[in-house]
C-alpha cells in the first residue's frame, strides 16, 4: 500500500495541463474507481497496481496525450462516450450542431437521421438519446470506429434504434448501398487542410486519427464528395447540418448550393466561430 496526497497529484500536473485540480480528480477517480466528485484534498491509500497506474497516467498526460484518450471516456453534450485512438475525440464545438439538429427534429417531428463519418457516434447517439422515437444510421469508413460507436449506442441504451454501416461516400454506389432516404443528414467530416495538420496541438495530431482530420489539400475534399451524394439520400424538405472549420463556412455553403441545396442558417460555436451550416433540400 502506498500513501498519496491528492495535492501532490495536482502539483505533478501543474504547468503541464490547463486544469490540474480538475484533471487530478478525474485521474484519481479513475484509478480508485470512484466518482471524481468524491475525490477531495486528503491522503489516499493506493495499492501498488493503482500507484503504477497513477504514475503512468501522469506521465502520459505530461507528454501531451489527451486525458480522454488515456482513460477512454469523454463527456460530450449531455452524455459520456467511450473513446479511443480510433475515433476523433468529441469536441464542445460540435455541441452547436447537436443542439441545432435537436431543435429541428423537435419542431419538424423528424424521424430518421443519417450521420456521415460518425466516429464515436457522439452526434447521432446524442440525438437518439434525446428523442426516443428517432431512428438513425451512422456511416464510417473505419470499422474500428464503428466498434466504438456500437458500444456507445449500447451504453446509452439506443442500440435498438440505430445501425452502423462501413461505407465510403467516395463509393459510386453509396446511395444504393445505404438503400434509403433520410429526413436529416448530419456530418462533422474531416476538414483540416492537409498542410495544417502538422501545426496542430500534439493532443490532436498525434492522438486523433489522421483520417478523421485530413480534409485534403484545401480542406474541402469531403464536403465536395458528400455534396454529390446528398441529393440522392436526403428526402424532400430534409435538413442537412454540417460542421466546418474556422473561415470555411462560406466555401462550404457554396459547395452545397451548387448541388441545389438551400442555405438556411450558419451558426457560431461558443468561441464565436462560424461552425455549423444548415441547409435544406
For the bound state, the minimum distance from the C-beta of residue 255 to ligand GLN, rounded and expressed in Å, comes to 15
Q: CB-wise, 191 or 220, nearer to ligand GLN?
A: 191
For the bound state, the minimum distance from the C-beta of residue 119 to ligand GLN, rounded and expressed in Å, comes to 9
Check residue 214 and report its DSSP letter: B
Q: Where are the beta strands (DSSP E) in the chain?
A: 2-5, 43-46, 73-76, 79-82, 112-116, 135-140, 162-166, 182-187, 234-243, 262-268, 274-280
User: Hunting for cell 470555411 — which residue is that?
Assistant: 248
Give, for 35, the enclosing helix (H) or strand (E).
Answer: none
Grid cell of 13 as nine digits: 500536473
Q: CB-wise, 167 or 204, nearer to ligand GLN?
A: 204
Sign of the C-alpha dihedral computed for residues 204, 209, 210 and 216 taken in this order? negative
For the bound state, the minimum distance from the C-beta of residue 88 to ligand GLN, rounded and expressed in Å, comes to 6
Q: CB-wise, 81 or 191, nearer to ligand GLN?
A: 191
Alpha carbon distances (Å) from 101 to 5, 55, 71, 140: 45, 41, 29, 20
Q: Where are the alpha helices (DSSP H) in 109-166?
A: 122-130, 143-155
For the bound state, the minimum distance from the C-beta of residue 87 to ligand GLN, rounded and expressed in Å, comes to 11
Q: CB-wise, 91 or 155, nearer to ligand GLN?
A: 91
Distance, CA of 113 to CA of 211 (rounded, Å): 23
Alpha carbon distances (Å) from 174 to 4, 33, 110, 164, 182: 55, 44, 23, 14, 14
Please enumerate in sequence order all residues whose Cβ is within 8 A of that of 265, keeping only pairs 6 or more positions apart, or say none: 100, 277, 278
For the bound state, the minimum distance from the C-beta of residue 208 to ligand GLN, rounded and expressed in Å, comes to 7
For the bound state, the minimum distance from the C-beta of residue 189 to ligand GLN, rounded and expressed in Å, comes to 6
Q: CB-wise, 31 or 67, nearer to ligand GLN?
A: 67
Q: CB-wise, 102 or 216, nearer to ligand GLN?
A: 216
Residues making contact with ligand GLN (CB under 6 A): 88, 91, 93, 188-192, 204, 213
Q: CB-wise, 32 or 127, nearer to ligand GLN?
A: 127
For the bound state, the minimum distance from the C-beta of residue 141 to ligand GLN, rounded and expressed in Å, comes to 14
Amino acid at each position: 500500500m502506498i500513501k498519496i496526497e491528492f495535492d501532490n497529484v495536482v502539483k505533478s500536473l501543474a504547468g503541464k495541463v490547463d486544469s490540474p485540480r480538475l484533471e487530478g480528480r478525474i485521474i484519481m477517480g479513475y484509478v480508485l474507481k470512484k466518482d471524481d466528485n468524491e475525490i477531495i484534498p486528503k491522503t489516499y491509500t493506493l495499492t501498488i497496481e493503482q500507484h503504477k497506474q497513477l504514475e503512468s497516467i501522469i506521465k502520459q498526460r505530461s507528454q501531451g496525450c489527451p486525458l480522454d484518450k488515456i482513460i477512454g471516456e469523454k463527456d460530450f453534450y449531455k452524455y459520456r462516450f467511450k473513446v479511443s485512438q480510433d475515433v476523433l475525440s468529441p469536441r464542445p464545438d460540435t455541441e452547436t450542431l447537436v443542439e441545432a439538429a435537436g431543435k429541428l427534429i423537435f419542431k419538424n417531428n423528424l424521424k430518421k437521421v443519417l450521420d456521415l463519418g460518425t466516429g464515436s457516434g457522439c452526434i447521432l447517439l446524442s440525438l437518439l438519446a434525446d428523442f426516443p422515437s428517432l431512428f438513425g444510421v451512422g456511416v464510417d469508413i473505419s470499422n474500428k470506429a464503428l466498434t466504438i460507436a456500437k458500444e456507445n449506442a449500447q451504453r446509452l441504451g439506443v442500440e435498438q434504434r440505430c445501425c452502423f454501416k462501413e461505407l465510403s461516400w467516395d463509393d459510386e454506389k453509396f446511395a444504393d448501398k445505404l438503400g434509403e432516404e433520410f429526413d436529416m443528414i448530419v456530418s462533422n467530416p474531416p476538414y483540416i487542410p492537409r498542410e495544417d495538420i502538422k501545426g496542430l496541438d500534439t493532443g490532436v495530431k498525434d492522438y486523433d486519427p489522421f483520417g478523421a482530420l485530413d480534409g485534403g489539400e484545401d480542406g474541402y475534399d469531403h464536403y465536395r464528395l458528400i455534396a454529390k451524394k446528398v441529393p440522392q439520400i436526403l428526402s424532400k424538405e430534409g435538413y442537412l447540418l454540417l460542421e466546418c472549420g474556422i473561415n470555411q463556412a462560406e466555401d462550404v455553403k457554396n459547395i452545397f448550393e451548387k448541388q441545389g441545396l438551400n442555405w438556411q442558417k450558419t451558426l457560431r460555436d461558443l468561441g464565436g466561430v462560424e461552425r455549423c451550416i444548415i441547409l435544406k433540400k
